[in-house]
A = this chain, B = another copy of it.
Amino acid sequence: MQVSFTLAEIAAIAKPSRTAGTTTESIRGIASLGSAKPGDISFLGNPKYRSAVASTLASIVLLPPDYAGGPGPNQVHMAVDNPSIALARLCSRIEQSLWPRPAPGIHPTATVAAEASVAESATVGPLCVVEPGAAVGERAHLQAHVFVGRGARVGEDSWLMPGVVVSAECTLGKRVRLHPGVVIGSDGFGYEFVSGRHEKVPQVGAVLIADDVEIGANTTIDRARFGLTVVGEGTKIDNLVQVGHNVVIGRHCLLCAQVGIAGSTTLEDYVVLGGQAGLAGHLTLARGVKVGAQSGVGKDVPAGASVFGSPSLPLIVEQRIAVLRKRLPELFKRVDALEQHLGLKAE
Contact = CB atoms under 8 A, between A and B. Distances in A.
Interface string A300-340: 00000000001101000100111011111101101101110
Interface of A: 1, 29-32, 35, 46, 48, 82, 84-85, 87-88, 91-92, 94-95, 98-99, 107, 109, 111, 125-127, 129, 143-145, 147, 149-151, 161-163, 165, 167-169, 179-181, 183, 186-187, 189, 191-192, 194, 196-206, 212, 214, 216-218, 220, 222, 225-227, 234, 236, 238-240, 242, 244, 246, 252, 254, 256-258, 260, 262, 264, 275-276, 278, 280, 282, 293-294, 296, 310-311, 313, 317, 320-322, 324-329, 331-332, 334-335, 337-339, 341-342, 344
Contacts of A335: 331, 334-335, 338
B239 A189 contact: yes
Given A30-B226, A236-B198, A257 B258 contact: no
What is the copy number of this chain in the assembly? Answer: 3
A220 B216 contact: yes
A91 B341 contact: no
A86 B147 CA distance: 33
A321 B329 contact: yes
24 contacts: A82-B192, A87-B201, A88-B192, A88-B200, A88-B202, A91-B201, A98-B168, A111-B127, A145-B147, A149-B162, A161-B167, A165-B180, A165-B181, A186-B217, A198-B236, A216-B222, A240-B260, A242-B275, A258-B278, A321-B328, A325-B328, A338-B338, A338-B339, A341-B342
Nearest to A240: B242
A91 to B, nearest CB: 4
A344 to B, nearest CB: 6
